[in-house]
Amino acid sequence: MSNVQIMTGNQAAAIGAKLSSVQVIAAYPITPQSQLAEILSQYIEGGELKAEYVRVEGEHSALTVCISASTVGARVFTATSANGLLYMHEQLHWAAGSRLPIVMCCVNRGVGAPWTIFNDQQDSISQRDTGWIQIYCRNNQEILDTVIQAYRIAEEVYAPVMVCYDGFVLSHTMMPVAIPDPELVKDFLPPYQAHTILSPEDPRTLNAVLFPWRRANSEGVLCDGYMEMRYKLQAALERSPAVIEETSRRFAEVFGRDHGGLSWGYRMEDAELVMTGMGSIASEAMQAADMLRDEGIKAGVVGIRVFRPFPAKTLKEAFRGAKGIVIFEKGISYGYEGALCSDLKAAFYGSENQAPAHNYIAGLGGRDVKARELADAARASWMEMQTGIVEKPTTWLNCYTG
Amino acid sequence: MPENLFKINAKEYILPGTRACQGCGLSLAYRYALKALRENTIVTLPACCLCVLHGIYPSTPVMIPALNNSFASTAASASGLVAGLQAMNRTDITVMAIAGDGGTFDMGIQALSGAAERGTDFIYVCYDNEGYMNTGTQRSSATPMGALTTTTPIATKQQHKKDFLKIMEAHDIAYLATASPSYPIDLYDKFVKAKKIKGTRYIHLYIPCPPGWAYSPKDTVKMGRLAVETGIAPLFEIENGKFRFTGRSKSMAERGNRLPVINYLEKQGRFKKMNIEQLQQVQHWVDGKWQEYQRRSQE
Amino acid sequence: MTTKKDDSISAMCTVAIGEAGKTGDWRSLRPVINHAKCIPSVKKKSACFLCWLYCPEGVVKATVPVEIDLDYCKGCGVCAEECPAKAITMVREGEDHE
Ligand SMILES: Cc1ncc(C[n+]2csc(CCOP(=O)(O)OP(=O)(O)O)c2C)c(N)n1
Ligand code: SF4
Ligand code: SF4
Ligand code: SF4
Ligand SMILES: [Mg+2]
């Protein structure tokens, strides 16, 4: 029954959007996302997908189109990469602040200047604080499945979801992918129900100015000030881990595939040295774990699937047995360390887990990073940790720092 | 009641008690724009004075559904509404994007050009009060030469106003018109007409603004009238490339009784530092535009 | 398409009169109509109504006689300027006219 095809990550994402019966698409081409925008155009012009495609003049407009179409009740989709995502920055906040369940693929790429078209995750990491849920995928099957899941999550908590996957490494690499049965997808993902809708039948104004204080409406009911409204977005994201896990569980029931809800583990049963990361670098780390295991080091991997909301509680549990933690990141918070490293260490603050954590910045702008190199780095850290080196400056892997 | 007043939709769509200034030309123009478009309309707007008029949460005085979006995004926001309504099979609804001169001439130009090039089925309205009024009367590319603004506070603006109508016309859109709240019936008629046309429609509103232009609120209608009578704000429409003067501008073109620009400029505090060369340049600039329009109206 | 009604999670404003309060309070000058001069009152029928046409606030009622909603009239004076019969006088608030 299962329909397996060999396809790229971009194709998988496009199929995910099609199966989710998106109604409005707006996208602007940028490498490595372009192919996704092209495939969706093909679906629509070829009559395979009944949706409006707005061929906008830039990414700021792409997301704006999605925002506005969503306010009249349409299910919307967009995708971008790197500078395109940065160009959307203002509207990322606008989408989340309007509480619109927009789903966007971010095909991760390094940002300029200087230019690179190749992969890292600086683009989406630097949009961390925009109120979007961020999910990182590790293979093409997960991309397809996550796009479908993303709508269910977004429409449950009314927050936008960014489905992130690595440019070229996944976007342009062929992998076998099982295509879910469209009928089952329809059951799994019922039609979009807006929380409020703009329509002449009930004329109201959305996204007005808010005062710092609360204010009564015409019936004398005290309504939110700016801060309460913002708190509700935070509350929605705080509520979302349970929704993400439930969605993942339900997806596994229906389609027989479980990509993990907030995170996943590999050879974690008795792992002492735990490697972690997001997206393809985490799946690369699985091979590294195998190599280290062959050497007799009890290595495992925790793949972090959801970066926002940060699943601190789940991760505390996942890293419980760790005696050393190695964090691989394709991005950096300049002037400090990898953002994931900071967040992870903060999650352990005050907990029993005080395992040393070493941070490696790897693969920026497509710099090659092989499983062997991850294993070497993790082993080196493991040795240092044995000799009591708990704190270590962030290491730039495979980088001639001189 | 004059016959032509009877045809105006009697319903008001803006409840009184708004935040707009006394004598706001925008309030007056918006009043007639909404009367013409009626209930089956969705409006989208950026940060600007109109956003303030639309009210502070949880209330709005405006009885037409509206979506506030970011400053640069107005026309893209309209594209989203149009696409969304199409997807929801609500093709009976008119989408109006409305932004100030700052949100149109400056930041919004990219999104507007894109939407117009795509032939998006919507009405775009630029209400032009010739400056960034909401943020405190700074210069915009719509500010005329010789005007004092808070960012041209001593030397006045050195450049002419951008000819935005030419830019919009170059997009070969379905309908283009100018209007003034001092001629509400002409304004109303143009919105009624625009509503019936398919494709991208652009309406430019010349909006007198008492605090921004430094004149007394009671003179708003007069100021708008002088803008038209001096040829600074000609009233016209362009359909299928055909230029046509309307209303007061039409009779002016026929009778040749255009007033000198000084009659208009001297009544506004913002021009008090204008020098004689600038005055001549503005007159020359207006003459040139007017002659071009006149030539086209005779084609 | 249906809605899961939750109005309060985004800034969705409902329609209300006096969003900025009773804007009549902004006034320093109040428009007073002299019905002995006002065209509709004189002719005892619908006529003129230019004050209605030009009022930026939409607070003039096109009735015979013409009425102004002083709760919300901002006192801009546009109506008095535009009245062809000079039937409207702007009177300082707090002072009686005549
Ligand atoms: C990206 C961005 N930059 C700047 C602003 C600040 N801002 C708000 S309104 C405005 C000027 C509006 O001018 P205009 O469009 O002419 O409308 P008006 O206020 O004159 O009615 C500016 C600069 C903003 N809201 N967003
Ligand atoms: S500043 Fe000018 S345009 Fe803005 S509300 Fe006041 S009068 Fe109207
Ligand atoms: S404009 Fe003057 S004359 Fe005409 S209706 Fe109003 S008050 Fe009466
Ligand atoms: S003073 Fe201004 S607001 Fe009051 S009625 Fe006259 S025009 Fe309207
Ligand atoms: Mg302006």
| Residue A161, SS3 per DSSP | strand
Q: If you measure from the C-alpha of residue C34 to the centroid of ligand 3, how many angstroms do you get, rounded to a whole number?
A: 9
Question: Given a cut of 80, is residue C6 above it in pLDDT?
Answer: no
Q: How far is CA A216 from the centre of its chain?
A: 38
Q: How far is CA A301 from the centre of its chain?
A: 18
Chain B interface test: which of A21, A24, A68, A230 (most B C-beta within 10 Å): A68
In a domain, C57, yes or no: yes
Q: Which of residues 53-92 of B touch A (CB under 8 A)?
A: 54-60, 62-70, 72-73, 76-81, 83-88, 90
CA B79/CA B121 separation, integer angstroms: 8
Task: Give the pLDDT score at C7.
Answer: 66
Task: Give the pLDDT score at A389.
Answer: 87
Residues with CB under 6 A from ligand 2: B 20-21, 24, 26, 49, 129, 133, 207, 209-212
Range of the domain at C60: 23-92
Q: Are A149 and A251 in contact (CB under 8 A)?
A: yes
Condensed to tens digits (0 to 9), the pLDDT of residues B136-146 reads 999 999 999 99
| Residue A126, SS3 per DSSP | coil
Task: Give the pLDDT score at B6.
Answer: 84
Give the gap in angstroms from C-alpha A226 to the nearest C-alpha of chain C. 9
SS (H, E, C) A240-284: HHHHHHHHHHHHHHHHCCCCCCCEEEECCCCCCEEEEECCHHHHH
Answer yes or no: do A103 and A229 share one domain.
Answer: no
Give the orientation angle of helix B109-117 with respect to helix A59-71, to 10 degrees.
70
Name the residue among C21, C54, C69 with its Cβ closest to that of B28: C54
Q: How many CB pairs under 8 A join B and C?
A: 115
Task: Pick from B44, B49, B50, B151 the residue to mutate for probing ligand 1's pocket: most ligand atoms within 8 Å of its CB.
Answer: B49
Give the gap in angstroms from C-alpha C25 to the nearest C-alpha of chain B. 10
Percent of chain B surpassing pLDDT 90: 98
* Paired tokens of A230: 């913002």
Task: Pick from B14, B26, B28 the residue to mutate for probing ligand 2's pocket: most ligand atoms within 8 Å of its CB.
Answer: B26
| Residue A218, SS3 per DSSP | coil
Q: Beginning with the edge strand found earlier in the chain, give each strand of the sheet holding B66-68 in spatial order.
A: B59-60, C12-15, A205-206, B66-68, B41-45, B94-100, B122-128, B200-206, B175-179, B236-239, B242-245
Contact A203 B65 (CB under 8 A): yes
* Paired tokens of B96: 């109006």
* Paired tokens of A79: 């995708």
Task: Give the pLDDT score at A402.
Answer: 65
Task: Pick from C43, C45, C49, C89 the residue to mutate for probing ligand 3's pocket: most ligand atoms within 8 Å of its CB.
Answer: C49
In a domain, A200, yes or no: no
| Residue C94, SS3 per DSSP | coil
Range of the domain at A374: 263-396
DSSP code of C8? G
Give the orientation angle of helix A34-45 with respect to helix A9-19, to 10 degrees.
40
In a domain, A103, yes or no: yes
Question: Given a cut of 70, is residue B3 above it in pLDDT?
Answer: no
Residue C43 contacts B where some CB pair is shorter than 8 Å: no
Contact C78 B56 (CB under 8 A): no
CA A30/CA A17 separation, integer angstroms: 18
Question: Given a cut of 90, is residue A401 above it in pLDDT?
Answer: no
Among A223, B28, B51, B66, which Cα is nearest to C15's?
Answer: B66
* Paired tokens of B105: 């001439």
Across the range A7-15, mean pLDDT stands at: 98
Task: Give the pLDDT score at B271.
Answer: 98
Average pLDDT, chain A: 97
Among A171, A169, A181, which Cα is nearest to A143's?
Answer: A171
CA B295/CA B286 separation, integer angstroms: 14
Across the range A279-294, mean pLDDT stands at: 97
Q: Which of residues 21-80 of B touch C (CB under 8 A)?
A: 22-25, 27-28, 31, 54-63
Residue nearest to atom 8 of ligand 2 (CA): B24
Is the C-beta atom of B27 inside 6 A of ligand 1?
no
Task: Pick from C25, C74, C86, C89 the residue to mutate for probing ligand 4's pocket: most ligand atoms within 8 Å of its CB.
Answer: C74
Residues of B in Cβ contact (< 8 Å) with C53 = 5, 184
DSSP code of A307? E
In a domain, C3, yes or no: no
Answer yes or no: do A79 and A145 share one domain.
Answer: yes
In a domain, C14, yes or no: no
Average pLDDT, chain B: 97
Answer yes or no: do A304 and A222 share one domain.
Answer: no
Answer yes or no: do A159 and A284 share one domain.
Answer: no
Q: If you measure from the C-alpha of residue B102 to the centroid of ligand 5, how many angstroms do you get, rounded to a whole number?
A: 5
Residues whose CB is less than 8 angstroms from the CB of residue A60 and which lie 6 or more positions away in sequence, other chains included: A87, A88, A90, A91, B72, B73, B76, B110, B111
Name the residue among B16, B20, B55 with its Cβ closest to that of C69: B16
Half-sphere CA count of C77, side-chain side, radius 13 A: 17
Answer yes or no: do A378 and A275 share one domain.
Answer: yes
pLDDT confidence band for A2 (50 / 70 / 90): confident
Half-sphere CA count of A146, side-chain side, radius 13 A: 30
In a domain, A198, yes or no: no
- Strand-strand pairing, B59-60 and B122-128: unpaired
CA B111/CA B78 separation, integer angstroms: 10
Answer yes or no: do A280 and A387 share one domain.
Answer: yes
CA C14/CA B65 separation, integer angstroms: 10
Percent of chain A surpassing pLDDT 90: 97
Range of the domain at B63: 3-297
What CATH number does the domain containing B136 carry? Answer: 3.40.50.970
Q: If you measure from the C-alpha of residue C30 to the centroid of ligand 2, how many angstroms do you get, rounded to a whole number?
A: 21
Give the orientation angle of helix A89-97 with respect to helix A226-255, to 10 degrees.
90
CA A293/CA A271 separation, integer angstroms: 9
Q: Are C9 and A195 in contact (CB under 8 A)?
A: yes
Q: Which of residues 216-245 of B touch C (CB under 8 A)?
A: 216-222
- Residue in the block written with tokens 């329909």: A3
Sign (positive/negative) of CA torsion A133, A139, A144, A148?
Answer: negative
Contact C13 A203 (CB under 8 A): no
Residue A209 contacts B where some CB pair is shorter than 8 Å: yes
- Strand-strand pairing, A306-308 and A133-136: antiparallel
Residues of A in Cβ contact (< 8 Å) with B83 = 24, 26, 52, 54, 65, 69, 74
Contact A204 C11 (CB under 8 A): no
Ligand (nearest to CA of B46)? 1
CA B236/CA B178 separation, integer angstroms: 6
CA B246/CA B190 separation, integer angstroms: 10
Residue nearest to atom 3 of ligand 4 (CA): C73
Answer yes or no: do A248 and A358 share one domain.
Answer: no
Answer yes or no: do A89 and A165 share one domain.
Answer: yes
Answer yes or no: do A157 and A34 share one domain.
Answer: yes
Answer yes or no: do A275 and A241 share one domain.
Answer: no
Give the gap in angstroms from C-alpha A22 to the nearest C-alpha of chain B. 10
- Number of domains chain A contains: 3
Give the gap in angstroms from C-alpha C13 to the nearest C-alpha of chain A. 5
Give the gap in angstroms from C-alpha C93 to the nearest C-alpha of chain B. 15
Q: If you measure from the C-alpha of residue A112 to the centroid of ligand 3, how many angstroms do you get, rounded to a whole number?
A: 64
pLDDT confidence band for C94 (50 / 70 / 90): confident
In a domain, A369, yes or no: yes
What CATH number does the domain containing A380 carry? Answer: 3.40.50.920
Q: Are A159 and A133 in contact (CB under 8 A)?
A: yes
Condensed to tens digits (0 to 9), the pLDDT of residues A298-341 reads 999 999 999 999 999 999 999 999 999 999 999 999 999 999 99
Q: If you measure from the C-alpha of residue B154 to the centroid of ligand 4, how many angstroms do you get, rounded to a whole number?
A: 34
Across the range A360-378, mean pLDDT stands at: 97
Q: Are A23 and B82 in contact (CB under 8 A)?
A: no
DSSP code of A207? S
What CATH number does the domain containing A177 carry? Answer: 3.40.50.970
Residue B114 contacts A where some CB pair is shorter than 8 Å: yes
Q: Which of residues 4-23 of C touch A (CB under 8 A)?
A: 4-17
In a domain, A380, yes or no: yes
Condensed to tens digits (0 to 9), the pLDDT of residues B36-48 reads 999 999 999 999 9
- Number of domains chain B contains: 1
CA A202/CA B280 separation, integer angstroms: 53
Among A312, A220, A315, which Cα is nearest to A274's?
Answer: A315
Ligand 2 atom, smallest distance to B27 CA: 8
In a domain, A136, yes or no: yes
Condensed to tens digits (0 to 9), the pLDDT of residues A213-252 reads 999 999 999 999 999 999 999 999 999 999 999 999 999 9
Question: Given a cut of 60, is residue B250 above it in pLDDT?
Answer: yes
- Number of domains chain C contains: 1
Contact A193 C11 (CB under 8 A): no
φ, ψ (nearest 5 deg) of residue A93: -65, -40
Is the C-beta atom of B108 inside 6 A of ligand 1?
no
In a domain, C18, yes or no: no
Is the C-beta atom of C61 inside 6 A of ligand 4?
no
Question: Given a cut of 90, is residue B176 above it in pLDDT?
Answer: yes
In a domain, A363, yes or no: yes
Question: Given a cut of 70, is residue A159 above it in pLDDT?
Answer: yes
Among B43, C50, B21, B78, which Cα is nearest to A68's?
Answer: B78
Q: Which residue of B has its CA nearest to A70?
A: B84
Question: Given a cut of 60, is residue B1 above it in pLDDT?
Answer: no
In a domain, A210, yes or no: no
φ, ψ (nearest 5 deg) of residue B92: -80, -5
Answer yes or no: do A312 and A347 share one domain.
Answer: yes
Contact A195 C5 (CB under 8 A): yes
Answer yes or no: do A137 and A274 share one domain.
Answer: no
Condensed to tens digits (0 to 9), the pLDDT of residues A128-156 reads 999 999 999 999 999 999 999 999 999 99
Give the gap in angstroms from C-alpha C21 to the nearest C-alpha of chain A. 11
pLDDT confidence band for B2 (50 / 70 / 90): low
SS (H, E, C) chain B: CCHHHHCCCCCCCECCCCCCCCCCHHHHHHHHHHHHHCCCEEEEECCCHHHHHCCECCEECECCCEEECCCCCHHHHHHHHHHHHHHCCCCCCEEEEEEECHHHHHCCHHHHHHHHHCCCCEEEEEEECCCECCCCCECCCCCCCCCCECCECCCCCCCCCCCHHHHHHCCCCCEEEEECCCCHHHHHHHHHHHHHCCCEEEEEEECCCHHHHCCCHHHHHHHHHHHHHCCCCCCEEEECCEEEECHHHHHHHHHCCCCCCHHHHCCCHHHCCCCHHHHHHHHHHHHHHHHHHHHHHHC
Is the C-beta atom of B74 inside 6 A of ligand 1?
no
What CATH number does the domain containing C37 carry? Answer: 3.30.70.20
